Amino acid sequence: MNIVTIPGDGIGPETMAVTTAILNTVSVQHDLKLKLLPEIAGHASLQKYGSTISPSLLEKVKAADGLILGPMATYDFKDESKGEINPSKFFRINLDLYANIRPARTFPQVPTRMNPFDLVVVRENTEGFYADRNVESGNSEILVTKDVVISLRRITRLCCERIAKAAFEIAMTRKKHVTIVHKANVLQIGDGMFIQICHDISKNYPEVKVDDFIVDAMMAHVVRRPEFFDTIVTTNMFGDILSDLTSELSGSIGLGGSLNAGDQYAMGQAAHGCAPDIAGQDLANPFSLVASAAMLLAWYGQQQKKPNFILASHSINQAMADAIDAKEMTKDVGGTLGTKATGEALISRLLKQ
């Protein structure tokens, strides 16, 4: 398996160093024959090539079997005419990575006010209220006058159908419970269609329990009783907000992995930002990127019917859970280790499995 690795900005190089070391370890253990192909994007690429995405990068990624993208300084990239392309958006659109899969679970040794829970948010990734991916050319926010802005939202049957199917397929491997999150009381046509399509898809999965919540009520329910939920499916913006909330409720957004998946390609991506304020200080939590890499291995194993990749993914997740239980983790989640030492502890656990 060939994997393009892009460290990203801020803490990205530190967390990617841990992640690649983990991948090299499981590659030997499980005979994965991984080949890691380092590339750059973001500020490093902007400085070298005059663009956050170099001209040849997309083809290199398409020629590989997967991509791991470190945290990017997305907010810095505002003007595409100056080469300031949002790398995350770029890959999601150009690789048609329509499903953003964000698990969140609690760990006994990580402080949280919640009851124990284990859920996953399945978020549509390519349309919705996101102005940079709704029209063929330009931006779907319209400056009508200097005091009036109209933002357009795109909802399509195709995107609803495929994200619904992805959610139900995931639910079948979990507790067989899908919750549809929407705002159909206000967005009656778009979210009305989204709900109806989800229910239509559900007919192919009669074993799965289905319910739905209005998004604002859902936020309250998730805070009050996250253990009630299992697989949550929703549109782009609602899923973006909800997945950050559920990750943080688990103890830290730094604990949750994130996979962007399509029919042909997939990208493991840190769920958090690039945290430039702690970059280079050996403080960054590497777990999110490591967990995302594990999700990429599992996706590839399922796609290619290669169980050793799925076993490798499980090994990484178990090592992380054991390390968290032993408090072999960074200070932000109650440990005492730095970034590098956290990675070394994970490798030590992998080697003992």
Domains of the chain: 1-101+252-353 (3.40.718.10), 113-249 (3.40.718.10)
Of 113, 118, 105, the C-alpha closest to 287 is 105
pLDDT of residue 140: 86
Q: Which parts of the chain register pLDDT below 70?
A: none
pLDDT of residue 343: 97
pLDDT of residue 133: 72
Distance CA 256, CA 333 (A): 12
Of 114, 166, 107, 165, the C-alpha closest to 291 is 107
Distance CA 278, CA 330 (A): 13
pLDDT of residue 283: 96
Contact 311, 318 (CB under 8 A): no
Distance CA 304, CA 293 (A): 16
Identity at 248, one-letter amino acid code: E
pLDDT of residue 314: 96
pLDDT of residue 254: 87
| H runs (alpha helix) in the chain | 12-29, 43-49, 57-63, 87-94, 157-172, 190-202, 215-224, 236-249, 287-304, 307-325, 339-352
Distance CA 111, CA 249 (A): 10
* DSSP 8-state code for residue 64: S
pLDDT of residue 299: 97
Give the tokens for residue 154. Answer: 């795109």
Cα-to-chain-centroid distance, residue 327:
24
Q: How far is CA 193 from CA 94, 182, 196, 216, 236, in A?
A: 25, 10, 5, 19, 15
pTM strictly above 0.75: yes
Of 268, 274, 225, 243, the C-alpha closest to 76 is 274
Distance CA 268, CA 320 (A): 17
Q: How far is CA 324 from CA 1, 138, 259, in A?
A: 29, 45, 21
Each residue of 130-159: pLDDT tens digit?
Answer: 877 777 777 888 899 999 999 999 999 999
Three-class DSSP category at 72: coil
* DSSP 8-state code for residue 110: S
